[in-house]
């Protein structure tokens, strides 16, 4: 008895004669993937044959060993950036199917991108040269990598945040500004102002050129923390008035207090941190406006002292000249005497 195998690909194989009832086998290799219907026929030594058996389905698959393809379309090799956060995008393909695309920067970990044939991923660059890698993986586990090298140059300019010096008479108020210079596209900032609360205190903080500030005023501790930010896509360029500060003089004539600024955060409207230098100011209690004779009160005697000085009947040494300059005109004259008299009778306020 011999057996003939029909392999379903146009080829047949026949075994040698074996005793009836003996198992016999043949091997076969198909040249391409596909589905084949295999059947067998028995023939005895006299040449009598059985019919073909029912077919057995055999499916041949060829392992996918073809790597996918991948390219980075943005950024381009050699590109330079001044912001750390960028989006990497590109395309990929495979002869069967893609499983995923991953991206990493330098020695960082792989991060899965959004999409496969068309993909993108946001990354953060480090200062200097950065190699960005992209890797495509197909459903068979085949991978392919590509890369580009870009440069991130952080802004080299250092912004300056400063508060102007201020002066006020005892119990008077004055307004000064916190200003930002050497910066473009302001976004947000938080600063802390420290001061001697026995000399000066903060009454209020109001908006400058940016959004309404949030202020935590603690006149007991002598600190005020201020935060302000823009709500637009782009922010203003310097000079930027960050906030207006109303100060109240609570100290005596001649007392001074530092207005010490500390920058906690500063960023542009894209969210990129900006290096900043703080320039502090000084608050001075100047004396009591209109108190020409320097006795701690403003009354008609002060108006008389100024009038006597103007006509030459009193020396400058008899007056506190800074207090006597009631109209803040820079000189002491008859107008100051009039201002003081009007203040005393209630027809003028400082």
Q: Are residues 174 and 248 in the same domain?
A: yes
Q: Are residues 281 and 170 in the same domain?
A: yes
What CATH number does the domain containing 221 carry? 2.60.40.680
Domain enclosing residue 237, as ranges: 159-285
CA distance 219 to 221: 5
pLDDT digits (tens, 9 = 90+) for 53-77: 999 999 988 888 999 999 999 999 9
pLDDT digits (tens, 9 = 90+) for 215-245: 999 999 999 999 998 888 888 898 999 999 9
Q: Are residues 340 and 231 in the same domain?
A: no
Query: Is 148 part of a structural domain of the chain?
Result: yes
H and E: helices and strands count for the chain:
3, 23
CA distance 153 to 128: 6
Q: Are residues 113 and 173 in the same domain?
A: no
Query: Is 292 part of a structural domain of the chain?
Result: no
Q: Are residues 196 and 277 in the same domain?
A: yes
Structural domains in the chain (count): 4
pLDDT bin (cut points 50, 70, 90) of residue 329 is confident
Count other C-beta atoms under 10 Å from residue 152's C-beta: 20
Count other C-beta atoms under 10 Å from residue 194's C-beta: 17
Assess whether the previous peptide bond of 75 is cis (omega < 30° from 0): yes
Phi, psi (deg, nearest 5) at residue 322: -65, -40
Q: Are residues 31 and 55 in the same domain?
A: yes
Query: Is 33 part of a structural domain of the chain?
Result: yes
Q: Are residues 111 and 181 in the same domain?
A: no
Q: Are residues 183 and 266 in the same domain?
A: yes
Look at residue 344 and give its three-state secondary structure. Answer: helix
- End-of-domain residue from the set 255, 285, 315: 285
CA distance 283 to 254: 10
Q: Are residues 83 and 30 in the same domain?
A: no
pLDDT digits (tens, 9 = 90+) for 253-303: 778 999 999 999 999 888 888 889 999 999 988 877 888 888 878 899 999
What CATH number does the domain containing 86 carry? 2.60.40.10
Q: Are residues 215 and 274 in the same domain?
A: yes
Q: Are residues 264 and 172 in the same domain?
A: yes
Query: Is 294 part of a structural domain of the chain?
Result: no
- End-of-domain residue from the set 60, 82, 108: 60
Query: Is 349 part of a structural domain of the chain?
Result: no
In this structure, of 113-122, 137-146, 157-166, 185-194, the range with the lowest mean pLDDT score is 157-166
Query: Tell me, what's the pLDDT at 154?
Result: 81
Query: Tell me, what's the pLDDT at 266?
Result: 92
Query: Is 239 part of a structural domain of the chain?
Result: yes
Helix-, strand-, coil-residue percentages of the chain, each rounded to 5? 10, 45, 45
Reply yes or no on whether the pLDDT at 156 is more than 70.
no
Reply yes or no on whether the pLDDT at 38 is more than 80.
yes
Reply yes or no on whether the pLDDT at 155 is more than 80.
no
Q: Are residues 77 and 189 in the same domain?
A: no
- End-of-domain residue from the set 60, 87, 103: 60
pLDDT bin (cut points 50, 70, 90) of residue 157 is low
What share of the chain has pLDDT > 70, as a percent?
99
Query: Is 350 part of a structural domain of the chain?
Result: no
pLDDT digits (tens, 9 = 90+) for 193-203: 999 999 999 99
pTM score of the predicted model:
0.47
């Amino acid at each position: 008895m011999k057996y003939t195998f029909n392999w379903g690909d146009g080829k047949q194989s026949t075994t040698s004669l074996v005793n009836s009832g003996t198992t016999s086998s043949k091997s076969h290799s198909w040249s391409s993937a596909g589905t084949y219907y295999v059947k067998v026929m028995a023939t005895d030594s006299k040449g009598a044959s059985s019919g073909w058996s029912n077919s057995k389905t055999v499916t041949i698959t060829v392992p996918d060993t073809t790597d996918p393809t991948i390219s980075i379309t943005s950024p381009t090799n050699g590109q330079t950036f001044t912001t750390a956060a960028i989006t990497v995008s590109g395309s990929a393909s495979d002869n069967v199917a893609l499983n995923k695309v991953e991206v990493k920067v330098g020695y960082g970990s792989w991060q899965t991108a959004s999409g496969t044939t068309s993909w993108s991923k946001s990354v953060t660059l480090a200062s200097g040269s950065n190699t960005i890698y992209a890797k495509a993986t197909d459903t068979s586990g085949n991978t392919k990598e590509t890369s580009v090298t870009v440069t991130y140059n952080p802004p080299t300019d250092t912004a300056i945040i400063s508060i102007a010096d201020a002066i006020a008479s005892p119990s008077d108020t004055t307004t000064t500004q916190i200003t930002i210079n050497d910066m473009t596209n302001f976004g947000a900032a938080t600063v802390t102002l420290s001061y001697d609360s026995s000399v000066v205190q903060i009454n209020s903080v109001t908006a400058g050129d940016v959004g309404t500030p949030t202020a935590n005023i603690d006149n007991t501790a002598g600190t005020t923390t201020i935060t302000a930010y823009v709500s637009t896509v782009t922010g203003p360029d310097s000079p930027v008035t960050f906030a207006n500060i109303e100060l109240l003089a609570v100290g005596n004539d001649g007392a001074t207090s530092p207005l010490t600024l500390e920058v906690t955060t500063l960023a542009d409207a894209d969210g990129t941190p900006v290096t900043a230098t703080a320039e502090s100011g000084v608050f001075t209690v100047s004396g009591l406006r209109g108190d020409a004779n320097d006795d701690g009160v403003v009354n008609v005697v002060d108006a008389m002292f100024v009038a006597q000085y103007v006509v030459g009947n009193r020396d400058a040494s008899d007056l506190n000249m800074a207090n006597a300059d009631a109209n803040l005109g820079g000189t002491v004259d008859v107008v100051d005497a009039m201002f003081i008299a009007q203040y005393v009778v209630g027809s003028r306020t400082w």
